[in-house]
Chains A and B, each alone.
Chain A
Amino acid sequence: MRSARRWPDERISRVPYWVYTDADMYQREQERIFGGPSWSYVALAAEIPGAGDFVRTSIGEIPVIVTRARDGKVHVLVNRCAHRGVMFCHASSGTATTFTCPYHQWSYASDGRLLGLPFKKGVGGHGGMPADFANGEHGLETLRVTERHGVIFASFSSDTPSFEEYLGSTNVGWFDRVFDGRPLRVLGYQRQVVPANWKLMFENIKDPYHASLLHVFLVTFGLFRADNPSKTQMDSTGQHSVLVSQRSEQREVVGTTDIARVQHDLELRDARLLDPVREFPGQTTVVMQTIWPNLIVQQQSNTLAMRQLVPRGVGEFELHWTYFGYESDDDEMTTRRLRQANLMGPAGLVSIDDSEVMRLAQLGAIAGNDRAALLEMGGHDTVDTEHMVTEVAIRAFYDHYRSVMGL
């Protein structure tokens, strides 16, 4: 399919606003990105520790369930009955050895096999399925599954390379920093729906330039600011990236005069809100990793979370936050993580700013279908940087996006 849409001549220094508003593009994204050779995050292994445990989620718009079979193996199944397409699993999580569709009670095993269906041989000699109907040919659609250090990903495509090859060695290194093999403990969920195109969320996390300006709370308390040592690193394709930075003290320095809203006199009444302790090697205190096509791994001080993107039409997405720590955390560390979670999520002291700005970005895009966004901070290229005054990771993202989308 050739698109009538034409990317602006300035290439990746411009992003046409129709990528956020065009329903045909959105459909193509579902097929080529979420349905294509990508590894989508679906769950943490800690959410389904026992045989029969399952969670329900989505890859793009496709509803799936992630199950653990009796032999311990993880399966990812499309949540759509092979009979008439009913989304048969409604519980968001639970334990079940079989799944039964409520409509005609076709039942499936944890690995997606069709176990049986009522009236298969008819009733009193009437009806029934044809003699050549084979259960083995009518199981649930299953996906490829991979797991690294307790994080489960799935793919619709047989062409997706191994997860390690897919992520690239630099990004595997950052991934393993948080997921170092220690068993994880799920602390809970926050979910929100944001009236903006899903890509705006990725751009937001790939954009350190905004973080030092929009997020006055972060800057005021030194958690993230333009003059802190930082870097941006991509994989060779540009689809994944990581923003790395380190905390500084609350202080006034060169460059902050550009940040008009910074509050130098703000002091916490209860310092327990922000009492980060070093728990990973090195000076780095913030690592925000974006993994194509639906995951942001958040490590800001001691708050660790998976942010899973679920697109819901061209102008809306859901963000599912799964907060976690380690099984080995003591109560003090767990409490610290739970308190620092105040920074993030739908009521986050910091992330509220992003949800609100993305809503406005979408409104601007709708009103400017023939215009384009400008991405020239830090130049025109897509190479790794050692600072945060750059939009390089967004340029790299769209470089890859264009090749996948044929634009």
Chain B
Amino acid sequence: MTSDVSASVTTRAAKRVPWAMFDQNAVRELYDDYAAFLDDGDYASWLELFDESAVYTVTARENVERGLPLATIRCDSRGMLADRIDALVTTQFYARRITRHVVTAIRPVGIDNGHLHTSANFVLIETIEDESTRIQSAGTYDDVIAMFDGELRFVEKRAIYDAPLVPTSIIVPL
């Protein structure tokens, strides 16, 4: 075997399934709120989009492809995610910035036990004070969504960013 310089680095997208009992518009609204709350800095509302036991991770695609468990952000509960937001708001030092989360191609890729599995693309566009606008990251969401008291919430959210190299830092969650 020789080293394959042309090897593809994209993972294959999962196959679409029917929306079944899930309302496509309601799912779209969940993602729209997700993006809007983050970009508005309304972290309290953003946290409410997760179930209490939700798992949230941000991972470099290279780890996913190599089957390595390390994430760049790993929150094993909404509480841990809230701890992160506390740090973001009160203890961390970083330059002020504006973000735009752009989420597209939301597709249903599985349903089990009343949970909807979705995949989507995201682009995070970031404007740091005094700098020009740049793309902070691009990648995919692999999510699990369920209905709680009539509201859709994330049970799992895995943001996988494509480029191994992060430009400086990930400040605002993906």
Contacts and interface: CB of A to CB of B under 8 A. Distances in A.
Contacts of B87: 217, 349
Interface of A: 52, 54, 88-100, 102, 107, 186-195, 214, 216-217, 220, 261, 263, 266, 268-270, 272-273, 318, 323, 334, 338-339, 341-342, 345-347, 349, 352-353, 355-357, 359-360
Interface in B69-93: 69-77, 79-80, 82-84, 86-87, 90-93
B131 to A, nearest CB: 10
A91 B1 contact: no
Contacts, number: 154
Given A91-B3, A220-B91, A356-B93, A187 B70 contact: yes
B58 interface: yes
A386 B68 CA distance: 39
A188 B93 contact: no
Nearest to B130: A363
A88 B3 CA distance: 9
Nearest to A56: B3
Contacts of A193: 165-168
Contacts of B20: none
Contacts of A269: 77, 79-80, 82-83
A347 B60 contact: no
B166 A188 contact: no
A108 B140 CA distance: 37
| Chain B interface bracket (under 10, 10 to 19, 20 to 34, 35 or more) | 35 or more
Nearest to B73: A347
B2 A107 contact: yes
A352 B76 CA distance: 21
B13 interface: no
Contacts of A195: 168
Contacts of A89: 3, 5
**For chain A, what secondary structure do more than half of its interface residues adopt (helix, strand, loop), or is it mixed?**
mixed
B21 interface: no
A190 B70 contact: yes
Contacts of A194: 168
Interface in B136-174: 164-171
Interface string B34-66: 000000000000000000000000101011001
Which of B62, B77, B84, B166 has most chain A Cβ within 10 Å?
Answer: B166
Contacts of B164: 92, 189, 191
A195 B134 CA distance: 14
A249 B86 CA distance: 20
Contact of B4 (A91, A214, A342): A91
Nearest to B172: A347
B67 to A, nearest CB: 9
A94 B4 contact: yes
A100 B3 contact: yes
A93 B3 CA distance: 9
Nearest to B170: A347
